[in-house]
């Protein structure tokens, strides 16, 4: 039986580089975001996760759906899929690691091997659209 992990992600690109984060003790980077709490919609979950992980406030009125992507979940048994629903959004504050986040970086397309499987698909999509350098 396959299982799907439902996650949300915030796409932030500056000068052809995408914001990624690495959790404490992990060896792979992820596009920032996380799982919803019971009863949360996409907006509520994404705003909460980004505030917790990066200490910035996404502006709810600026949220714009980018796409939903699915792949084998990194570090999970074969057949466990992650479904990542991605949004663009403007924000206020200064991006800095918080909670379980150990490091934030800005990646080019060539850094794709350093991110999770689903994020590699997202990198490909962003590259196709000419958004990643």
* Per-residue model confidence as pLDDT tens digits over 102-115: 999 999 999 999 99
Cβ neighbours of residue 130 closer than 8 Å, sequence gap 6 or more? none
Which pLDDT tens digit goes with each residue over 19-35?
999 999 999 999 999 99
The domain made up of 3-114 has a fold known as: Nucleoside Triphosphate Pyrophosphohydrolase (3.90.79)
Rounded to two decimals, the pTM is: 0.94
Q: What is the pLDDT of residue 100?
A: 93
Q: Would you state the pLDDT for residue 1? A: 53
- CB neighbours of 53 closer than 8 A, spacing ≥ 6? 21, 32, 34, 97, 98, 99, 100, 101
């Amino acid at each position: 039986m396959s299982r799907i992990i439902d996650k949300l992600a915030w796409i932030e690109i500056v000068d052809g580089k995408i914001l990624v984060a690495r959790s404490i003790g992990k060896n792979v980077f992820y596009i920032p975001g996380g799982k919803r709490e019971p009863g949360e919609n996409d907006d509520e979950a994404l705003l909460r996760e980004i505030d917790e992980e990066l200490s910035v406030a996404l502006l709810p009125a600026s949220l714009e759906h980018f796409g939903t992507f699915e792949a084998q979940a990194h570090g999970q048994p074969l057949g466990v899929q992650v479904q990542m629903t991605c949004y663009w959004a403007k924000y206020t504050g200064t991006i800095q690691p918080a909670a379980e986040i150990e490091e934030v970086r800005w990646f080019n397309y060539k850094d794709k091997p350093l991110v999770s499987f689903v994020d590699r698909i997202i990198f490909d999509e962003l590259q196709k659209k000419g958004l990643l350098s």
